[in-house]
């Protein structure tokens, strides 16, 4: 599944891919063999998603104007959805972009670099949820036709079950 998520991102307009590793880092490094990927280890992965977000943001190129935070357990997000989020950002550079499917908030979320400092102050396992809620006026809600943005897949059985029901 990580391979599918990675391939969809790699095929998109994303300029730089940073993978934050936590538990079992060697498994992921073995799955993703791409010399252009930046791997970074989050030693504090047990403290929640916010520590992974912080670790990833530390590695973002200083010339980058945004970061698209993607989750490894979302292999159903389509390449064109990543592109739509990026294209929408370029038309609305002062905003962060959050995809919605049928009025449900989804992932990945694109953050403007001007929010990186605040985002690095997020704590716990809710990742950026509280930050998004607290700063909702700074987010553009992008309706997409890709249900992958609201579907996390925790194992291969769920993944294949979903594909068979398509």
pLDDT of 163 above 70: no
For 108, the token pair is 């990945």
Report d(CA 39, CA 47) in Å as an integer: 19
Which superfamily does CATH assign the domain made up of 2-164 to? Answer: Spore Coat Polysaccharide Biosynthesis Protein SpsA; Chain A (3.90.550.10)
Which whole-number Å values give the CA distances from 107 to 26, 75, 149, in the listed order?
25, 11, 5
Condensed to tens digits (0 to 9), the pLDDT of residues 25-79 reads 988 888 898 989 999 999 999 998 899 999 999 999 999 999 999 998 999 999 9
Of 49, 48, 41, nearest to 20 (Cα)?
Answer: 41
Higher per-residue pLDDT: 108 or 35: 108
For 111, the token pair is 């953050």
Name the band, by pLDDT with cuts 50, 70 and 90, for residue 156.
low
pTM of the model: 0.90
Report d(CA 37, CA 29) in Å as an integer: 10
DSSP letter assigned to residue 115? G
Residue 82 three-state SS: helix
Which residues are CB-contacts of 116 (< 8 A; sequence separation ≥ 6)? 57, 60, 67
pLDDT of 162 above 80: no
pLDDT value of residue 96: 98
pLDDT value of residue 31: 86
Average pLDDT, rounded, for the chain: 91
């Amino acid at each position: 599944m990580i391979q599918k998520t990675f391939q969809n991102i790699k095929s998109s307009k994303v300029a730089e891919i940073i993978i934050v590793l936590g538990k079992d880092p060697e498994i992921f490094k073995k799955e993703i063999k791409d010399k252009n990927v930046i791997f970074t280890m989050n030693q504090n992965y047990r403290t929640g998603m916010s520590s992974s977000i912080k670790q990833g943001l530390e590695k973002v190129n200083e010339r980058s104007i945004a970061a698209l935070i993607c989750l490894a357990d979302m292999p159903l997000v389509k390449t064109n959805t990543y592109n739509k989020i990026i294209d929408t950002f370029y038309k609305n550079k002062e905003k962060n972009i959050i995809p919605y499917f049928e009025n449900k908030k989804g992932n990945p979320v694109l953050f403007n670099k001007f929010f990186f400092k605040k985002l690095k102050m997020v704590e716990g396992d809710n990742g950026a949820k509280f930050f998004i809620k607290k700063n909702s006026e700074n987010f553009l809600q992008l309706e997409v036709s890709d249900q992958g943005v609201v579907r996390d897949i925790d194992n291969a059985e769920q993944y294949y079950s979903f594909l068979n029901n398509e």
